[in-house]
Amino acid sequence: MNNFLKKISKNKNKSLMLTSLMLVVLFFSIISFISKTTNVKPDVIKYNKFTTMVSESKVASAELDLKNSKTFNFKDTAGKTYVTDNPKTDNFKEFLLSKDIAVKEIKVDEPIWATMLMSIIQMGLYIMLIMWMMKRMVPGQKRDDVIDKIPEITLDDIAGEKELKSDLKFVIEYLKNPDKYSKIGARMPKGIVLYGPPGTGKTLTAKAIAGTAGVPFFSVSGSDFVEMYVGLGAKRVRDLFKKAKEKAPCIIFIDEIDAVGGKRGFSGNSEQDQTINALLNELDGFDGREGIITICATNRIEDLDQALIRPGRFDKQLAVPLPEKEDRTAILKIHTSGKKLAADVDLTEISSMTVGFSGAALESMLNEAAFIAVNEGFEEVGNKHIEKAFYKMVMKGDRKENQNSRDKEELKIVAYHEAGHALATKLYTNDSIAKVTIVSFTSGAGGATFRTPQEMGLYSKNYIKSLIKVMYAGRASEYILLGSDDEITTGASLDIKQATTLIKEYLSVYGMNDKIGLINTNELLQTQELPIILEEASKLSMELYNEVKNDLQKNFETVREIAEELLINESISEKELDDIIARNKTI
């Protein structure tokens, strides 16, 4: 909702500023025209009268064209304008100046008809400019046209999404042969919502549906309906559906529907409400047999107005989730098809360490790896280049070049900190570790343990506790190394923040605390005033911290060996980590 308000506010401000500017210019042009055409004609007097007025110091200023004009204008001390004969003498200007009369040299006055003509032309240009701008604001002509071509991409070109593709088969069959369904009385969903995290391919999927079915694809964005003037957004909706009906069967795709389809009554924006009403009316205006399917995409389905997603409208909601391991491997194969890869690149291994990456993120990582390879003088993209790109994306920064300048004592603390995370991951979970490193990054991170979590939909109470202990393991390892609470550093600040989030969910969302019970405290009023939340959070925090501290103390030789290996080589792989743990018989 906040994003919607920002967008509409931005559009309003731009339009208001431009319109206001044009109106101001037009206003002053009209004033200028009126002043030029309605000026009172000056009194004509004899030249002798003028010289008398000069001698009596009654002349304040004069406007002269000394060589061409037969007359000249002057003003008296009261501001009244007169006209008299021009003597055209060589010393006339000097004479006036000697009498303290201000002199302004001008060219001969243009005829009044020429002045009027120029003013009319000037006003006409301003009016044409304003009309052009107003025309651009009208929804039907805001853009040259919506995209209405048949896309070349099909569902076969999209890797993964097996379940989603299966759900969409009936849509494609309907678009190819709508009569087959109408004969039996079947009604297609009027609207489909594709929802999921950014970068998962919602727009691509919608295009692929149209491409596979071979039907036109009308594509607009929700922000295209956000207008400055009430009613124009609604008009654009009506124009869009009118064009679609002319080319049915077809698909109307509205990206970022939340920009205009948010819950009504919260923003106080009547233009948004009218636009939603227009969209609802269009959906209600056909019975599902016309061969038009409206697909919209959003990252936040929970923000949509309930009237949009009720049965009979956008009644089919399909999730476009982040890709799983098998899907990531397929996506990587597509995005590496045009790249030269070195023999050491293993796409299966890359897919294992990119848990949580969207298809767009995978493409961006591979593109970044190609840039790194070229910049380093390689003709092929190697595994090290992909790893650098991966770390750059995850750490949100580049590796610092001058690693040798780091303080040795600080480096040692970082090594033990990351060793604690690595060992705790192996002690408490079945998660894998792509790499442990003490390389510092421009984002400010001094090191990292790249843990790859299991891809599960449900997590147990024990697993959540284990994750919290993994997050506390860095601080616990520091404490054991330094031997004093007074010597511990700020290196665990991000770990504590992540652990706090998990503890909060453990207590207030998942109902895993006996004292609080099966209650989502976020649904209660003034939750922050419930002292039991803070009390139980502190208790759980210290309990888990003490557990991991004791376990690391028992296995501190393993921690030490991992840290020493990091100090020598900066980074270690999972195999090297497993070898150290096996030698010390830790697990």
How many CB atoms are located within 10 Å of the residue 3 CB?
15
Q: What is the phi-psi region of residue 216: left when phi exceeds 0, alpha when psi lies from -120 to 50, beta otherwise?
A: beta
Task: Provide φ and ψ at 102, rounded to 5°.
Answer: -70, 130
The pLDDT value given to residue 546: 95
Range name among 263-277, 327-341, 388-402, 535-549 with the lowest pLDDT average: 263-277
Would you say domain 403-583 falls under CATH 3.30.460.80? no
Class of domain 43-106: alpha beta
* Separation in Å, CA 337 to CA 340, 360, 368: 8, 15, 15
Q: What is the phi-psi region of residue 319: left when phi exceeds 0, alpha when psi lies from -120 to 50, beta otherwise?
A: beta
Confidence of residue 289 (pLDDT cuts 50, 70, 90): low
Which residue in the block uniquely carries the two structure tokens 């194969």? 333
The pLDDT value given to residue 266: 52
* Separation in Å, CA 419 to CA 101, 470, 494: 92, 11, 16
Contact 218, 240 (CB under 8 A): yes
The domain segmentation of the chain, as residue ranges, is: 43-106, 155-319, 325-395, 403-583
Average of per-residue pLDDT across 163-179:
80
With DSSP H G I counted as helix, E B as strand and the rest as coil, what are the percentages for the chain, rounded to 5? 55, 10, 30
Q: What is the largest CA-CA distance in the chain?
A: 123
Which residue in the block uniquely carries the two structure tokens 């959003």? 298
Mean residue pLDDT of the chain comes to: 80
pTM of the full predicted structure?
0.64
The pLDDT value given to residue 470: 95
The pLDDT value given to residue 587: 65
Q: What is the DSSP string of 384-435?
A: HHHHHHHHHHHHTSPBPS-GGGS-HHHHHHHHHHHHHHHHHHHHH---EEEE
Task: Provide φ and ψ at 451, rounded to 5°.
Answer: -90, 135
* Separation in Å, CA 394 to CA 97, 143, 446, 566: 79, 38, 13, 20
Burial (Cβ within 10 Å: 0-12, 13-18, ≥19) of residue 296: buried
Confidence of residue 16 (pLDDT cuts 50, 70, 90): low
Q: Is 418 in the active site? A: yes
**Active site residue: 161, 227, 282, 418, which one?**
418
Q: What is the pLDDT of residues 65-89, one digit of tens each?
A: 755 678 888 888 888 889 888 887 7
Is the pLDDT reported for residue 545 higher than 90?
Answer: yes
Range name among 259-268, 502-511, 547-556 with the lowest pLDDT average: 259-268
Confidence of residue 226 (pLDDT cuts 50, 70, 90): low
Sheet of 250-255: strand order equals 217-221, 250-255, 292-298, 191-195, 316-319
Is the pLDDT reported for residue 138 higher than 60?
Answer: no
**325-395, CATH topology level:** Helicase, Ruva Protein; domain 3 (1.10.8)
Cα–Cα distance between 32 and 9 in angstroms, integer? 34
Class of domain 155-319: alpha beta
Contact 470, 428 (CB under 8 A): yes
Cα–Cα distance between 347 and 350 in angstroms, integer? 5
